[in-house]
Amino acid sequence: MARNRVIALSGGVGGAKLVLGLSRVMPPEALTIIANSGDDFEHLGLSISPDLDTLLYTLAGLDNPETGWGRRDETWNFMNALAALGRERETWFRLGDKDLATHIERTRRLRAGESLAAITKDFCQRHGIAAHLLPMSDDKLRTRVKTGEGWLDFQDYFVRRRCEPAISAIDFAGAETARPHPDFLAALTDPALRAIVICPSNPLISIEPILALRGVCDALRAAGAPIIAVAPLIGGKAVKGPTAKMLRELDLEVSAAAVARRYGDLLDAYIVDRADAERCAGIAPRIVPAKALMETLADREALARLVLETADQLMTVAV
C-alpha cells in the first residue's frame, strides 16, 4: 500500500508557508493540517481563530503576504465605523470587512451547535481547499502568559500589548480536559501515514498547545511514520514573531538546537538552516541542513519536498 498521508502540526504564518509548500508537492487531499487553536478567543462577541484563518486564507490564496494575517485586498470600513461608535480601544485586533464574514459565519454556526472542525471543513470546501484543515481540538484550550501584570490572555499579550511585557511562564488553560480532535488521532493511526511534520512555528505557543492535549505525545510516538520538525529559528533569530524574545525571557537558549531539545525524543529528524546544522549535531537522530528561510513559493515547495524525502529515507531505513 502506498504511504501517502501526511500530518502537519502548525501555527499561523511561519507554519502556513510550509503547509502551502506541502499542499503543492503532494496530493493535497492526503494532507491533514492540525492547527493550533490555543490562540482562539472572543472579540466583539465574535469567535476568532487566528491560526486556522491564516492557514485557511493561505491555502485559498487569499492571504495577505504583507501582514501575515488577514486577507489580501482588505478594506477597513467596519473598523473605522466601530471606532466612531467609541470603540477605538477595541480596534487593536484588526478585523477587515472581508475577514468579518469568516468570523460572523463561524460564530453563528458555533452558537447553533456546529463544531469548529465541521465549520472549518465547510469553509475549506467553499474556498476550494482540498487539504484537510482541522483544529487541534473542538474543546477549549487557551494559551495564557504570565507577565509582571499577572496572567494575560494570549491575544491580549500578543496583539494588544504587542508582546511588550516580559513573560515568566506560559500556561495552557483547559489542557487537562481538552481532547485532541478524533480525526487527528485517527490520522495518526492511519497505516498510509507517510510523515508527521512539525512546522516552523513558535514552539512555545503554536506547537506545544497541540502537544499539551491529552494523549497527543503518546499517539505521536506510537504513529507508524517519522516525525520531522523544521526549525523556526535561523541563526538564532526568528523569521517573524516573538519566538526569540519569548525564549530569552523564559531563560531558554535562543537557537534552533534549543527548540529541538524541547521536542525531545519525539523527533526522528530535524531540518535546520545550514548555518545551524553543526550546533544541532546529535540533538535528533537525523539533522538535515537546508535553506530554511522560505522567501519564495519555490522555497516553500523545496523545503516541503525535503521534508517528504527525509521521511521517505527514514522509512526505508526502518524497513
| Residue ranges binding its own copies (CB under 8 A) | 44-46, 71, 74-75, 77-82, 84-87, 96-102, 104-105, 107-108, 111, 122-123, 126-127
Grid cell digits, residue 82: 466601530
* Residues sharing a CB contact under 8 Å with residue 241, sequence separation 6 or more, in sequence order: 13, 14, 202
Comparison of 121 and 262: residue with beta carbon closer to its own copies: 121
DSSP strands (E only) in 102-177: 132-135, 142-147, 150-153, 167-173
Comparison of 117 and 204: residue with beta carbon closer to its own copies: 117
In angstroms, what is the minimal distance from the CB of 107 to its own copies? 6
Grid cell digits, residue 259: 527548540
In angstroms, what is the minimal distance from the CB of 164 to its own copies? 27
Comparison of 126 and 237: residue with beta carbon closer to its own copies: 126
In angstroms, what is the minimal distance from the CB of 263 to its own copies? 36
Comparison of 98 and 214: residue with beta carbon closer to its own copies: 98
Comparison of 57 and 154: residue with beta carbon closer to its own copies: 57
CA dihedral 295, 297, 301, 306 (to 10 degrees): -10
In angstroms, what is the minimal distance from the CB of 98 to its own copies? 4
CA distance 10 to 59: 13
- DSSP characters for 96-123? -HHHHHHHHHHHHHHHTT--HHHHHHHH
In angstroms, what is the minimal distance from the CB of 121 to its own copies? 12
Comparison of 82 and 258: residue with beta carbon closer to its own copies: 82
Per the CB < 8 A criterion, the answer to whether 183 and 142 are in contact is: no
Handedness of CA 137, 36, 282, 242 (dihedral sign): negative
Q: Which residue has the cell 470587512?
A: 97
Per the CB < 8 A criterion, the answer to whether 142 and 174 are in contact is: yes
In angstroms, what is the minimal distance from the CB of 102 to its own copies? 7
